[in-house]
Amino acid sequence: MSEFGKVAVLQGGDSAERDVSLRSGAAVVSALRSAGVDAHPFDPAHYPLAELKEQGFARAFNVLHGRGGEDGTIQGALHYLNMPYTGSGVLACALAMDKVKTKQVWQAAGLPVAPSIVARRGQPVQYANLLRELGGKVMVKPAQEGSSIGMSSAASAQELEQALELAFQFDNEVLIESWLSGPEYTVALLGNKALPAIRLETTHEFYDYDAKYQASDTQYHCPAGLSDVEERALQQLAEVAFRGLGGEGWGRIDVMCDKQGHFRLLEANMVPGMTEKSLVPMAAQAQGMSFAQLVVAILRHSES
């Protein structure tokens, strides 16, 4: 498709999610080429971004996951180069990459989230008191990592101490959330409109890195098993949450239910995975869209 010119598929990078990004990139390059797009892989860990212009690229399809690619950094650089790129802009990506800031924005907008406390490296933590305050069991998350990296649960003071030690290996700020025991859903957005919701089912305690990328027994239900009213309510919640962060083009919102069955927003993904096990392509397929059609649609929303 000559309308796009020469397209750089940004992949790899140097974040903790490099391997997943390389897999996403390979899938996107193949799909774009099958649709007639002049697409080429480009790894910023190996080449300076200035070469995008030198090599004659007209726009960028960004599948750099994690820090550097999903936090506003690459978006700002591409904007400076005056190169159109897929996905959200600098501010939306910076907010969404930071789970603490994301939660603060959603809370300020009156959107439903789980009770939580922020821990910072070097500050004392009263483990038993914190657990009591958050209901006895918690999920511990580094503020700025994706793919469930550095995440773990805790139901005792000792487990919480260990979970924080792990999380602080990845970040100086950690989000500690009340444990949500209901089903987990994810809602992909394309052109700022929600695609069919997917319900995730894993034999693991939670949807961790292994369940996402390696396990063979993780199940994905689309349709998600919700009533029409519940499905639309979940889609509307995802659309409002995405817009609230300034999201554009495409992305994904993760949601869980509490024990009363109420939806609680978890996090936003502005550069979701695009591997063979990824969720956005699965949701698009449920709406009758092939992987090639999906990547072309995402590319059409690219901005500078």
pLDDT, tens digit, 9 for 90 and up, residues 66-124: 889 999 999 999 999 999 999 999 999 999 999 999 999 999 999 999 999 999 998 99
Q: Tell me what pLDDT residue 46 has.
A: 95
Q: Annotated catalytic residue: which of 147, 148, 178, 302?
A: 147
Mean pLDDT of 41-62: 96
Q: How far apart are CA 139 and CA 143, in angstroms?
A: 12
Q: How far apart are CA 56 and CA 244, in angstroms?
A: 35
Q: Tell me what pLDDT residue 252 has.
A: 97
Rg (CA), the chain: 19
Q: How far apart are CA 10 and CA 50, in angstroms?
A: 13
Q: Return residue ranges of the chain for CATH 3.30.1490.20.
A: 116-178
Kindly tell me if the per-residue pLDDT of 158 is higher than 90: yes
H or E element in which residue 187 lies: strand 184-190
147 in active site: yes
Which one is predicted more confidently, 144 or 260? 260
Cis peptide before 84 (omega within 30 of 0): no
Which of 108, 245, 100, 270 minimizes the C-alpha distance to 177? 100
H or E element in which residue 39 lies: strand 38-42
What is the fold of 116-178?
Dna Ligase; domain 1 (3.30.1490)
Q: Tell me what pLDDT residue 210 has.
A: 58
Q: Annotated catalytic residue: which of 17, 70, 145, 177?
A: 17
Q: Return residue ranges of the chain for CATH 3.40.50.20.
A: 2-87
Q: Tell me what pLDDT residue 17 has.
A: 85
Confidence band (pLDDT; 50, 70, 90) for 215? low
Q: Does domain 2-87 have CATH number 3.40.50.20?
A: yes
Residue 97 structure tokens:
């990459």
**Strand partners for 264:** 256
Kindly tell me if the per-residue pLDDT of 303 is higher than 80: no
Lowest-confidence segment of 19-33, 146-160, 258-272 by average pLDDT: 146-160
* Length of the chain, in residues: 304
Mean pLDDT of 232-252: 97
Q: Tell me what pLDDT residue 1 has.
A: 64
Q: Tell me what pLDDT residue 205 has.
A: 60
HSE-up of 183 (CA within 13 Å, CB side)? 15
99, 267 contact by CB (below 8 A): yes
Beta pairing class for 173-178 and 138-142: antiparallel
Q: Tell me what pLDDT residue 105 has.
A: 97
DSSP 194: E
Residues annotated within a binding site: 254, 267, 269
Q: Return residue ranges of the chain for CATH 3.30.470.20.
A: 95-111+181-300
Q: Tell me what pLDDT residue 2 has.
A: 72
17 in active site: yes
Mean pLDDT of 47-72: 95
Q: How far apart are CA 249 and CA 20, in angstroms?
A: 21
44, 18 contact by CB (below 8 A): no
156 in active site: no
Mean pLDDT of 216-242: 93
Lowest-confidence segment of 128-132, 217-221, 232-236 by average pLDDT: 217-221
Q: Is the pTM of this model over 0.75?
A: yes
* Sign of the four-CA dihedral 132, 134, 138, 139: negative
CA distances from 211 to 188, 207, 214, 278 (A): 19, 6, 6, 12
Residues annotated within a binding site for Mg(2+): 254, 267, 269
Q: Tell me what pLDDT residue 36 has.
A: 96
Among the CATH numbers 3.40.50.300, 3.40.630.30, 3.40.50.12280, 3.30.470.20, which is that of 95-111+181-300? Answer: 3.30.470.20
Percent of the chain whose pLDDT exceeds 70:
92
Q: Tell me what pLDDT residue 218 has.
A: 79
Q: How far apart are CA 51 and CA 44, in angstroms?
A: 10
Mean pLDDT of 251-273: 95
Q: Annotated catalytic residue: which of 21, 148, 178, 278?
A: 278
Mean pLDDT of the residues in the chain: 92
CA distances from 32 to 15, 41, 108, 249 (A): 24, 11, 39, 17
Which residues 6+ apart lie within 8 Å of 153 measured at CB? Answer: 137, 138, 139, 140, 159, 163, 179, 205, 206
Q: What share of the chain is helix, strand, coil (3-state, %, to 5)?
A: 35, 20, 40
Q: How far apart are CA 13 and CA 17, in angstroms?
A: 8
Which of 184, 199, 194, 196 minimizes the C-alpha distance to 250? 194
Q: Tell me what pLDDT residue 122 has.
A: 87
